[in-house]
Amino acid sequence: KVKQLEHRTHYHFQPQKHWINADPNGPMYYNGIYHLFYQYNPYGAVWGNIIWGHSVSMDLINWKALQPAIKPTKPYDRHGCWSGSATILPGNKPVILYTGVVDENKTQVQNYVLPKNINDPYLEEWIKPDDNPLLVAEPGVNRTAFRDPTTAWMGRDGHWRILIGSRRKHTGIAYLYKSKDFIKWVKAKHPLHSKDRTGNWECPDFFPVAREGKKGLDNSMIEEQNVKFVLKVSLDTTRYDYYTVGKYFPEIDRYIPDNTSVDGWKGLRYDYGNFYASKSFFDASKNRRILWGWSNESDTKMDDVEKGWAGIQTIPRRIWLHPNGKQLLAWPIEEVESLRGHKVQLRNENMKKGDVVEIKGITAAQADVEVVFSFPSLDKAEPLHPSLDHLDAHELCSRKGSSVHGGLGPFGLLTLASGKLEEYTPVFVRVFKAKNKHKILLCSDASSSSLKKGLYKPSFAGFLDVDLAKKKLSLRSLIDHSVVESFGAGGEVCITSRVYPALAVSDNAHLYAFNNGSETVAIETLDAWSIKGPKFMN
Ligand code: FRU
């Protein structure tokens, strides 16, 4: 029992027990209610027997669990009801497309379900019409890598379009299918996009974003002026979500990434940590696009079985295009702020090299922290040794951890820390002088997070592309027992870490700010809140 509870999250979405690979399935806002479906094993805390769990919410924070929405019952989904998406058709009619697994070889087809009673506010029951499956892999298409249909969008010609993730040998593919009536689907001559040597594309997501401002767009708003497009794919070789920003040419149904974006594992990521199989949806009630993602456990399978649960959803994030047009920004939805309880703050506190400042008075295991650091100059930024210049952020972070002294940084937060710092998950910045620019590393380092052995404790990191002229850097972390979700520079780089401290649990967890660089750094503003648990009604 204790084991089950000590690392369980309190304000992140997770079912009462058993496995989820969140693959947020069919998220949507419909008639005043948010729906979240998820890949769920009703029999245990490991992957298998996959059905669609279903929960509803008025605010994306408090949830009510309903009966499963889709279960294997038919020859076309007998071996699993895998990921898919919702589309709201004209006349306000929701429809869900999902992947059915038909045999032991994992042959995949696409099916649809409709609400049994459109007047049920929760849309609790879903029916499988008789004309399923809608889509089977034709010759030449890899039928065991043919899955995860997207939300549909409508083209100028009045035809619906969806993507299905796939691969041919090592080439990742987003197949495009078109339909006039949503029932009869025809594969387009060319995929919307593909890329060699990227492996299978799981859970594709394709949507327009406004060039300016934070307003989200419906998937079918492809004709808007001043839009760009985002294509995201989940690469199962690395287990990360990558996206490109680019142009969509509706006349030829092709997508071409901008030259500032690259496909594959060197590309942009929604999150540089534990975050996979994500999906976004357009929230018409607040005109925003919201991103959900799955954060898997980093402990062992045995731990999961003992805990009785595995997998959480990250806090939903609003996403929009960065003013530089090259990447997205992401920020926790404002509703999470309704959970803020007791608040403490610091103003203009200097931290010299080696200083550690405790942030007292809040529940450090369940908190929201926003901080702005400032520094007098960039002069002390340490030169990046040429032998380290080629390293990716993750490797650089594992070599230059929070306790390795530097010039400008490392400075940041020590989250989920034990009282004597036997354990801590540092979230920190380190500025390097490289060739003719600065490299700014944001790191969320689980390597010191737990005294326990056998855990996966990666040093996750990303590079921030901010202008340091103002000599400030901001950071926000959402801390929830076994998860730390961090947002650098207003959401330019997001990193989610899963950690399992032995000592820094519940009331024994502490929160600190620290500086291990020779340049003095000021905590210009720091606001931290205890976070209350929302209602999860089962
Ligand atoms: C991604 C994924 C999907 C698939 C589902 C099965 O995590 O592998 O591609 O539909 O999970 O649970």
Ligand 1, atom 12, residue with closest C-alpha = 82
- Domain span at residue 44? 2-334
Question: Which ligand 1 atom is the nearest neighbour of the CA of 99?
Answer: 10
Report the CATH number at residue 469: 2.60.120.560
Decide which of 273, 304, 334 is a domain's last residue: 334
- Asked if residue 536 belongs to a domain, the reply is no
Do residue 512 and residue 418 come from a single domain? yes
Quick check: CB of 167 below 6 Å from ligand 1? no
For the question of residue 23 being annotated catalytic, the response is: yes
Question: What's residue 2's pLDDT?
Answer: 60
Do residue 425 and residue 278 come from a single domain? no
Cα–Cα dist 132/73, whole Å? 12
Q: How far is CA 73 from CA 21, 23, 79, 213, 298, in A?
A: 21, 21, 9, 45, 33
Do residue 420 and residue 326 come from a single domain? no
Do residue 123 and residue 158 come from a single domain? yes
**ipTM exceeding 0.90, yes/no:** yes
Non-local CB neighbours of 356 within 8 Å, separated by 6+ positions: 414, 421, 512, 513, 514
Quick check: CB of 38 below 6 Å from ligand 1? no
Quick check: CB of 164 below 6 Å from ligand 1? no
Q: End-to-end distance of the chain based on CA atoms, in angstroms?
A: 19
Do residue 348 and residue 429 come from a single domain? yes
CB-based contact 17:44 (threshold 8 Å): no
Do residue 315 and residue 370 come from a single domain? no
Quick check: CB of 278 below 6 Å from ligand 1? no
Decide which of 334, 353, 369 is a domain's last residue: 334
Which tokens go with 209?
Answer: 């974003």
Q: From the CA of 23, how far away is ligand 1's center (Å)?
A: 7
- Asked if residue 166 belongs to a domain, the reply is yes
Question: What's residue 162's pLDDT?
Answer: 98
Quick check: CB of 50 below 6 Å from ligand 1? yes
Report the CATH number at residue 166: 2.115.10.20
Q: Which of 40, 203, 242 to mutate to test the pocket of ligand 1 (most atoms within 8 A of CB)?
A: 203
- Asked if residue 465 belongs to a domain, the reply is yes
Q: From the CA of 301, how far away is ligand 1's center (Å)?
A: 18
Total domains in the fold of the chain: 2
Which of these is catalytic: 23, 205, 271, 283? Answer: 23
Decide which of 311, 334, 357 is a domain's last residue: 334
Q: From the CA of 82, how far away is ligand 1's center (Å)?
A: 6
Quick check: CB of 23 below 6 Å from ligand 1? yes
Question: Which ligand 1 atom is the nearest neighbour of the CA of 202?
Answer: 9
- Asked if residue 482 belongs to a domain, the reply is yes
Question: What's residue 3's pLDDT?
Answer: 66
Do residue 320 and residue 445 come from a single domain? no
Regions of the chain with pLDDT less than 70: 1-4
Per the listing, tokens 């203009």 go with 348
69 burial type by CB count under 10 A (0-12 exposed, 13-18 middle, 19+ buried): buried
Per the listing, tokens 């702005």 go with 372
Do residue 298 and residue 344 come from a single domain? no
- Asked if residue 509 belongs to a domain, the reply is yes
Question: What's residue 436's pLDDT?
Answer: 81
Do residue 384 and residue 494 come from a single domain? yes
Q: Which of 34, 44, 36, 40 is nearest to 21 (CA)?
A: 40
Global confidence as pTM: 0.97
Q: Is the dihedral of CA 117, 122, 127, 128 positive or negative?
A: positive
Do residue 212 and residue 277 come from a single domain? yes
Do residue 345 and residue 325 come from a single domain? no
Non-local CB neighbours of 327 within 8 Å, separated by 6+ positions: 245, 268, 321, 465, 492
**Which uninterrupted H or E stretch holds 301?**
helix 301-307
Do residue 320 and residue 355 come from a single domain? no
Cα R_g (the chain), whole angstroms: 23
CB-based contact 476:371 (threshold 8 Å): yes
